[in-house]
Amino acid sequence: MGGGAMTPAAWAEAYAQRGWQVLPVHSVRSGRCTCGATDCSSPGKHPRTEHGLRDATTDETVILEWWKRWPSANIGIATGAASGIVVLDFDTYKDPAVVARFEERFGPLPVTPRVRTGGGGLHVYLAWAEEGLSNSAGKLMPGVDVRAGGGSAGASRSRPLRMDRRHIARNSSGPDARSHPGGSQTARADCGSSP
């Protein structure tokens, strides 16, 4: 993944090669979602395909065709058993201390890939470990969303409305996750209840 800048299609392929199911997601052009809706509630964050998340795949032929059709599409990654990952979405743009508060309550997060989101939040990637773990918004605690079974997360190199670019975040407890997508130290999700 060195050399020149990778295209969204190349990033989507790289995620798929890790076994993560991907799908094309609308992007933002001239400050508006490419879906064309003037009142879009999720600009640059919702699927372009007919069946949405059910279309997510690791099939390289399908992925290349999608990005040939929509070269600037953002990348969605199916979470849960489909890809073997859970993503914790911390709203650090609202509360810079939310990660610290989470770790006080549930214990330290392991060294694992972390990605700054376009909106200023933080995605922490964990290995899927529990059937029945579902998506939630603020259920674990305010400012923490879970993307698990039946959900998705915007991938690094995607560009929703509130961003100029996504980037790999420095992991506070270890080296940065430059091996993303995925990294080799993706930890297991175990944050369902307070100690």
pLDDT digits (tens, 9 = 90+) for 119-146: 889 999 999 987 778 899 999 999 999 9
pLDDT digits (tens, 9 = 90+) for 13-54: 999 999 999 999 999 888 899 999 999 998 988 999 999 999
Look at 83 and 132; give whichever has higher pLDDT: 83
pTM of the model: 0.79
Confidence at residue 3, expressed as pLDDT on a 0 to 100 scale: 54
* pLDDT band at residue 158 using 50, 70 and 90 as cut-offs: low
Q: Which pair of structure tokens corresponds to residue 146?
A: 């879970």
Residue 184 predicted with pLDDT over 60: no
Q: Which pair of structure tokens corresponds to residue 51?
A: 């069946």
Could you tell me the strand order of the sheet in which 74-78 lies?
22-25, 74-78, 152-154
Name the pairing type of β-strands 187-188 and 122-127. parallel
